[in-house]
C-alpha cells in the first residue's frame, strides 16, 4: 500500500482568501507557572477554509449538512479517480479536458466516486498570486462533474471559480450533495488514477468546512 499526503501545511501568516477571511495565526503559549517543568503549546486562529479543507453545501445554505454531521463513510477510504490536467495561472479546465484526461487514465468514473484534479498549481503555494490567479473550472466542467454524480470534487487550485472570469456555478454546485476538497498538493506523485481517498475533518460544531489531513491511498 502506498499513501500520499495531498494536504498542504497550515502556517502562521500563510495565504488566505482575503478580508473577511483571516490568515492563520499560530501563537506560542508560555509554559504555565503551576508546573515544575516546562511544557509547550500553541493557539491557532483561522477560518475553517484554511490549508486543505473539506467543505459542505452549508457554505452557501446554513440549513444544509454541517461538517460535524458528515458521515465518516463520505470521507474515509472512498473510491476515487485522480486526473492530471497541467495548467498555469488563470488557465481554464473544460469538460472536454476532463473527458480527455479520464479517457487517458483508462478508468470509469462511477456515481459516488470522488474526483481529484491535479494541475500542478501547488508548486505556487508560496507565490504571491497563488490565490489571485489560479487555474479554474469552466461552467461546462462543473456540469460534467455533476452529470457524472461525483460525490466529492477535489483539486489543487484554491479557487474553483475564476476571480477574473467568473463562471458563477457554485449555487448549482451546492444544490447537490457534492463535497468540495481544496486545495490539494502532491498530485503529481499519484501513481495510479484509481485509488482511495481519506480526508477527515475536525468535528467543529455547525461549521461549513474544516481543515483536513487528506490522503491518497494506492492499494
Cα Rg for the chain, rounded, in angstroms? 18
* Backbone φ, ψ for residue 58 (5° rounding): -65, -15
Q: What is the longest distance spanned by two Cα atoms in the chain? A: 64
**H helix or E strand, kind and range, residue 42:** strand 41-45
Angle at 200 between CA 199 and CA 204, to 5 degrees: 135
Helices (H), 148-201: 170-173
Q: What domains are defined for the chain?
A: 2-8+48-218 (3.50.30.50)
Cβ atoms of 191 and 161 within 8 Å: the answer is no
Mean pLDDT, the chain, integer: 98
Q: What tens digit of pLDDT does each residue of 118-161 get?
A: 999 999 999 999 999 999 999 999 999 999 999 999 999 999 99
Mean pLDDT of 173-201: 98
**H helix or E strand, kind and range, residue 172:** helix 170-173
Question: Tell me, what's the pLDDT at 106?
Answer: 96
Tell me the percentage of the chain whose pLDDT exceeds 70: 100
Q: What tens digit of pLDDT does each residue of 72-131 get?
A: 999 999 999 999 999 999 999 999 999 999 999 999 999 999 999 999 999 999 999 999
Question: Tell me, what's the pLDDT at 157?
Answer: 99
Amino acid at each position: 500500500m502506498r499513501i500520499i499526503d495531498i494536504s498542504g501545511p497550515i502556517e502562521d501568516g500563510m495565504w488566505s482568501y482575503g478580508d473577511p477571511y483571516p490568515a492563520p495565526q499560530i501563537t506560542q503559549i508560555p509554559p504555565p507557572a503551576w508546573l515544575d517543568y516546562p511544557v509547550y503549546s500553541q493557539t491557532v486562529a483561522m477560518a475553517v477554509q484554511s490549508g486543505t479543507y473539506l467543505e459542505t453545501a452549508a457554505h452557501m445554505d446554513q440549513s444544509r449538512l454541517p461538517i460535524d454531521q458528515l458521515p465518516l463513510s463520505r470521507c474515509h477510504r472512498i473510491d476515487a479517480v485522480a486526473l492530471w490536467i497541467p495548467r498555469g495561472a488563470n488557465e481554464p479546465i473544460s469538460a472536454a479536458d476532463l473527458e480527455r484526461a479520464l479517457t487517458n487514465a483508462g478508468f470509469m468514473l462511477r456515481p459516488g466516486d470522488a474526483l481529484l484534479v491535479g494541475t500542478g498549481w501547488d508548486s505556487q503555494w508560496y507565490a504571491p498570486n497563488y490565490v489571485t490567479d489560479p487555474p479554474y473550472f469552466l461552467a461546462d466542467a462543473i456540469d460534467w462533474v455533476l452529470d457524472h454524480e461525483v460525490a466529492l470534487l477535489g483539486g489543487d487550485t484554491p479557487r474553483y471559480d475564476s476571480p477574473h472570469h467568473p463562471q458563477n456555478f457554485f449555487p448549482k454546485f451546492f444544490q447537490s450533495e457534492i463535497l468540495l476538497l481544496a486545495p490539494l498538493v502532491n498530485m503529481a506523485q499519484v501513481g495510479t488514477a484509481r485509488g482511495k481517498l481519506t480526508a477527515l475533518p475536525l468535528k467543529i460544531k455547525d461549521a461549513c468546512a474544516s481543515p483536513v489531513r487528506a490522503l491518497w491511498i494506492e492499494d
